[in-house]
Amino acid sequence: MAKVTALPYVEEHEVEDAQKLIDDQFIELTGKKFGFRPAGYYIAVKIYVRADELSIIDMPDGTTQTLWTAPIVQQQDALESCSALVVAIGPGCFKNRDTGVAWADGPTCRVGDWVAIPRASTWLTKWRGVAVGVLPDDKIIGTVEDPADLSSVYVPPKV
């Protein structure tokens, strides 16, 4: 699996470079560019899933061993992760829904930013096998420098 990188806190003049990085990563993951453009005020995000290769260990006999993330961990990340990479932004984002006037504070995020997202407000799907969410622009909680810094606090329901 490709290591996902992004430009933390993407500036307006960096959006084109960020989109190229994202397209290159989707080509590596799926063989095609992302190719999904959200409608209206929706934002598409690639859900953060830990890398399948955790680390490489040098053994005393001179060989190396690779530690891998268990598939169940990656499946849980796809369902429970609360950080994501912004991969596409709809044409109506960051505007007043009634007037179409741009938000006074400007956009909350740009393509290429890592963001904190609420899982309950995200339409979650797999796009060509990659965990993707779609959510309204006003549900972005904030931008983060490293998606690994965020983790969900899951409390199982009492039955």
Q: What is the pLDDT of residues 37-79, one digit of tens each?
A: 899 999 999 887 766 666 778 888 988 887 776 777 666 665 6
Q: How confident is the model at residue 4 (pLDDT cuts 50, 70, 90)?
A: very low
Task: Tally DSSP H helices, then E strands, for the chain.
Answer: 2, 8
Q: Which residues face 55 on adjacent strands?
A: 67
Percent helix / strand / coil, the chain, rounded to 5: 25, 30, 50
The per-residue pLDDT for 88 is 92
Is 85 a residue whose pLDDT tops 70? Answer: yes
Least confident of 29-33, 60-64, 80-84: 80-84
Q: How confident is the model at residue 94 (pLDDT cuts 50, 70, 90)?
A: very high
Residue 52 vs residue 18, higher pLDDT: 18
The pTM score is 0.74
Closest C-alpha to 141, from 117, 123, 119: 117
Cβ-contact 96, 105 below 8 angstroms: no
The per-residue pLDDT for 10 is 78
